Amino acid sequence: MLRNLLAFTTISAALAGCGGTTAAAGNQQQPSATASPTAAATPVNYGNAKPVAAKPFDAATVATFDQPWALAFLPDRRMLVTEKPGQIWLVTADGTKTKVGGVPKVHDEGQGGLLDVAVSPRFASDHAVYISYSEPGEGGDSLALARATIDPAATAPALTGLQVIWRQLPRGQGGQFGAYIAFSPDGQHLFLAAGDRQRMTPAQDPDQPVGKILRLTLDGKPAPGNPGEGKTGATTVSLIDPPENTVAAAKAKGRQVTVPAPNLTPAETWSSGHRNPYGLAFDSQGRLWSVEMGPKGGDELNLIEPGKNYGWPLVSYGSNYDDVPIPSPTTRPDLAEPALYWNPVIAPAGLTFYDGTLFPDWRGSAFVGGLAATALVRIAFDGTTAREAERWDMGNRIRAVVSGPDGALWLLEDGAEAKLLRLTPKKAG
């Protein structure tokens, strides 16, 4: 047990760097930052793309936070900002912060804690917000999705009537919660990224909500029209906790546990084979995209389509942390290829599409924060063909990026005393 704990700590420490390694893999294409779109089906590696020196924006510091994780705008243009240790702040555009009460107990350790926040598409009438977090419990944490209401007119804002509407079972150890929330453009469905919890093989188990992107109703139930609509799964599944997370070790040490019936995972699942999706967003055409943390190398941008298997841990453009190679995605044409990938990694965090007016050249682009890359990355599209168009060194790990209703791009840095930045077009002189 002690050995396992130590090994897990080592893994956690390695992962806490979120792919901070700069180990280079051979055989890479090295596109310039101005690479032109390619029609080739094979994705392009942007791991060695160099930052563009000139920034077309000014970055104003609006406020600072302790280990912020996510940001969401209310219709009145105030923001909700989560801090991983378990705080939510209501923040005005000029940076005035008010603490939000009623936040549930979270397990703040490693990658776990208070994670994403999303505002109901019907907020004007239901005042609902959704949060995701690592919920402590017997046997380990589960990723929890909760809904609560918040009175936007209150001088002491608080989450009220909080209910956990979805919970990842079985509970267990491991980071990589995913936890990102997105709403369909029509506001009818909620998509939730459930990371692989460093367990790897369950990402391929249709009976476990691990390594999946789920499509739920706004009440947290399986959404009608999902690929597995009406199906239930086994109630006895293999619990695999780190450090049992190599394929061989998982096979040797898989333990059987019971989850409550009915197991709705097959009916909730939209796509599978994900490692740690760390950003989830719809483009203006209604297509769903995700960025995903790879292992040692192999960060991905994926176009998420129903019923597809995105390959983890069977294939990756990266390798395991113990340098055990993983087969290339080119060996498995039955598994979905990423739209592009990064090796070495950028450690993506946050994904947003820009359709504002302040930066006309950016309309239709996606933006990704880079933790290891300490960068902001712009991705341009030709249909569904994606390319890294620009990368700017921000000097700090970037934890979140959101297109604001004001046309600005809003960034959260990572860590203690992390800044909330508002990006606007660079003023002359």
Binding site residues, Ca ion, CB under 5 A: 310-311
User: Given the complex with Ca ion, which of 89 and 310 has the nearer CB atom?
Assistant: 310
What b/e readout covers 302-320, taking b as 16+ CB neighbours within 10 angstroms? bbbeeebbbbbbbbbbbbb
- The per-residue DSSP string of 274-289 comes to -SEEEEEEE-TTS-EE
The residue among 220 and 311 lying less far from Ca ion, judged by its C-beta, is 311
- Nearer CB in complex with Ca ion: 49/326: 326
In angstroms, give the least distance from the CB of 316 to Ca ion: 6
In the bound state with Ca ion, the residue whose beta carbon lies nearer, of 246 and 272, is 272
Closest CA to 289 of 358, 377, 381: 381
How far is CA 387 from each of CA 8, 31, 106, 214, 322, rounded to the nearest angstrom?
36, 10, 37, 26, 30
165 or 247, CB closer to Ca ion? Answer: 247
Return the number of the residue (31 or 318) whose C-beta is nearest Ca ion.
318
CB of 311 to Ca ion, least distance (A): 4
Cis, peptide link before residue 313, omega less than 30° from 0: yes
- The sign of the CA dihedral 251, 256, 259, 261 is positive
Q: Measure the CA–CA gap between 269 and 208, rounded to whole angstroms.
A: 9
Question: Contact, 350 vs 372, CB < 8 A?
Answer: no
Least distance between Ca ion and beta carbon 84 (Å):
26
**Parallel, antiparallel, or unpaired: how do β-strands 366-370 and 348-353 relate?**
antiparallel
Is the CB of 311 or the CB of 370 nearer to Ca ion? 311
**Least distance in angstroms from the C-beta of 195 to Ca ion:** 13
Both tokens assigned to 228:
């597995």
Nearer to Ca ion, 274 or 387 (CB): 274
Residue of closest CB approach to Ca ion? 311
Closest approach, Cβ 298 to Ca ion, in A, equals: 7
Asked if 225 and 268 count as a contact pair (C-beta separation under 8 A), the reply is no
Provide the minimum distance between the beta carbon of 338 and Ca ion in the complex, in angstroms, as a whole number. Answer: 5
Task: Give SS3 for 332.
Answer: coil
Number of CB atoms found within 10 A of residue 190's CB: 26
Q: What are residue 291's phi and psi, to 5 degrees?
A: -105, 150
